[in-house]
Amino acid sequence: DTGVSQDPRHKITKRGQNVTFRCDPISEHNRLYWYRQTLGQGPEFLTYFQNEAQLEKSRLLSDRFSAERPKGSFSTLEIQRTEQGDSAMYLCASSFLTGGVLPYFGPGTRLLVL
Amino acid sequence: GIQVEQSPPDLILQEGANSTLRCNFSDSVNNLQWFHQNPWGQLINLFYIPSGTKQNGRLSATTVATERYSLLYISSSQTTDSGVYFCAVSFGNEKLTFGTGTRLTIIP
């Protein structure tokens, strides 16, 4: 296993379109996180899963955003009716346990909404 | 929520120089991590250091939890050290709060 993978790596879409991103965590990791990073800022937490359960959602995650993790494996993040303000890097991370086990981040999906 | 401030925001150094990056946080934490984001956007874990001192090669980090700050030291800088360094903290939950980062540029 070579780490967390994300697909696609880049996405350009027009305002109003829907987009979906996929994250494949490290296989034995039961925790999966989504973060969003805008230009010049640090990543901001969006949501996290333990196995298939979504345990916390940030207020940043408006009703246009939905995340799933069926069967506790890969996860998808969908953005409906995209807006220009959604342009950002979307980062996925996974970990096995808390208490010192570092989350491993994927390479990110860079979204540009025109 | 917890506030995280990093300084300096930008740092330009000659290859071979040493540097110190600082992270201040506004409340008690039980998780503090340092990350390096390379020019392609990949975040790499450097240290998990809620307290104490750790060293890994040319990098070391110290966190003084009672005074709510952490320092990242880079010695004998190389051009591959360029990128943005982030401090991230949390307390009692899974949500990491990141600082705005220090952009380090190493000139050959």
| Residue in A56, A89, A110 closest to B95 by CB | A56
- Sign of dihedral through CA atoms B9, B12, B16, B17? negative
> For residue B45, which residues of chain A lie inside 8 Å, CB to CB?
102-105
Paired strand residues for B13: B106
A96–chain B Cβ distance below 8 A for any pair: no
Structure tokens that stand for A13 in this block = 């879409």
Contact list, A104 vs chain B (CB under 8 Å): 45
Burial zone of B1 (CB within 10 Å; 0-12 exposed, 13-18 middle, 19+ buried): exposed
SS3 A70: helix
What was the pLDDT predicted at A13?
A: 98
Give the pLDDT of chain B (108 residues) as one tens digit per residue.
899 999 999 999 999 999 999 999 999 998 899 999 998 889 999 999 999 999 999 999 999 999 999 999 999 999 999 999 999 998 876 789 999 999 999 999
Contact A41 B100 (CB under 8 A): yes
- Interchain contact A2–B (C-beta under 8 A): no
**Greatest C-alpha distance within chain A:** 42
